[in-house]
Amino acid sequence: MTTTTVEVENLGKRFKDTTALEGFGISAESGTVLGLLGPNGAGKTTTVRILTTLLRFDTGRAAVAGFDVARDARQVRRRIGLTGQQTAVDDLLTARQNLVLFGKLFRLNKAEARERAAELLDQFRLGEAADRSPKQFSGGMKRRLDLAASMILAPQVLFLDEPTTGLDPAGRREVWDTVSHLAADGTTVVLTTHYLDEADRLCDRIAVIDHGRNIVEDTPMGLKRRMGADRLEIVAADPDDLPVLVGIVEPLADGGVATDETAAAVSAPVTEPVAALTAAATAVRDKHLTVADIGLRRPTLDEAFLELIGTTGKEEDRT
């Protein structure tokens, strides 16, 4: 049985003359990953700081793990973890010493801190590197150690603020696997990121934010479906074949057929993608045409995101 562990309603926050959040609301259930997407200055980090009790809000209501963020801040802190954009581990200590130190900061006694450090080193696949300094780690390993430190008290809700910024593809994949395992084990994860492939891979639901307001909240697939149906696309090997390809695609289309003479391509939305692709491929073969490419093109999360927020907002206009 799932329970709602993050509830935000009509949240508002102002910094002097600047509105950071206005009428903002999200919710997340246990064991799921909620992504917060938006351009710089949209209000993502402000939201995380409010929900982790680091910043007071002006209006609305926010609850985490069943406790009101404003009235029960101490209870909220006992049930959350936070990993910011910069790692918090100390390069002068070993991985094990870092986790023991964090345990003591969370008021575990010496034996409890050592036991919890050993558990986390094993859970985050850092056992073989336990007695090495983080400065010898890869970016992904160091980030995993940082995540382990935020899990000292096995929080119900883990907040990750752009956790893979600056990592190479291998390091990002290491962090993705770790986050997926945490959610599978029941931890609710609230993730802010600028990487749309990351959101597509990890998130159960995504809230798109701009200028401190909710634009939409949906699943990654739901957001992509807002862009319309799958499209059948054929690229001609010989540009002179383009009119023939248009004649092949038109009977299969569920909407207007688009041609790109520069790319020698024709495309159209289709309601039955596999059947349309099969019919098109058969027609190409029967007419003895040679094509450079033929396939189905699905809307991407990047396209959905840009469609939702537009491309006219400038970073310097945001705070």
Burial pattern 20-30, b for ≥16 Cβ within 10 A else e, equals bbbebbbbbeb
- Which has more confidence, 312 or 309? 309
Write b or e for each residue in 118-132: b if 16 or more Cβ atoms lie within 10 A of its Cβ, otherwise e: eebbebbebeebbee
Query: For domain 4-225, which CATH number applies: 3.40.50.720, 3.40.50.2300, 3.30.565.10, 3.40.50.300?
Result: 3.40.50.300
CA of 174: how far to CAs of 89, 112, 137, 239, in Å?
18, 27, 13, 44
- What is the average pLDDT across 210-217? 90
The pLDDT confidence band at residue 75, using thresholds 50, 70 and 90, is very high
Query: pLDDT value at position 164?
Result: 86
Query: For a pLDDT cut of 90, what percent of the chain falls above it?
Result: 62
Does residue 311 surpass a pLDDT of 70? no
Higher pLDDT among residues 226 and 49, named by residue: 49
Per-residue pLDDT, averaged over 267-293, amounts to 94
Q: Where in the chain is the domain with CATH 3.30.70?
A: 231-298
What separation in angstroms does the CA of 68 have from each of 52, 84, 212, 263?
11, 22, 21, 56
Q: List pLDDT tens digits, range 200-213.
A: 999 999 999 998 99
Q: Are 130 and 94 in contact (CB under 8 A)?
A: yes
Q: Which two tokens stand for residue 199?
A: 């959101």
Q: What is the pLDDT of residue 299?
A: 81
Long-range (24+ apart) CB contacts under 8 A made by 175-178 are: 175/140, 175/143, 175/144, 175/147, 176/201, 176/202, 178/124, 178/144, 178/147
- pTM higher than 0.85: no
Please give the residue that has the higher pLDDT: either 290 or 84.
290
pLDDT of amino acid 313: 46
Sort 112 into a burial class: Cβ within 10 Å, 0-12 / 13-18 / 19+.
middle
Question: Is 312's pLDDT higher than 60?
Answer: no
Comparing CA positions, the residue from 42, 37, 46, 44 lying closest to residue 305 is 37
Residue with tokens 């008290």: 153
Question: Is domain 231-298 annotated with CATH 1.20.950?
Answer: no
Residue 150 in contact with residue 82, Cβ under 8 Å?
yes
Domain with CATH 3.40.50.300 in the chain: 4-225
Distance CA 87, CA 142 (A): 8
* Average pLDDT of the residues of the chain: 90
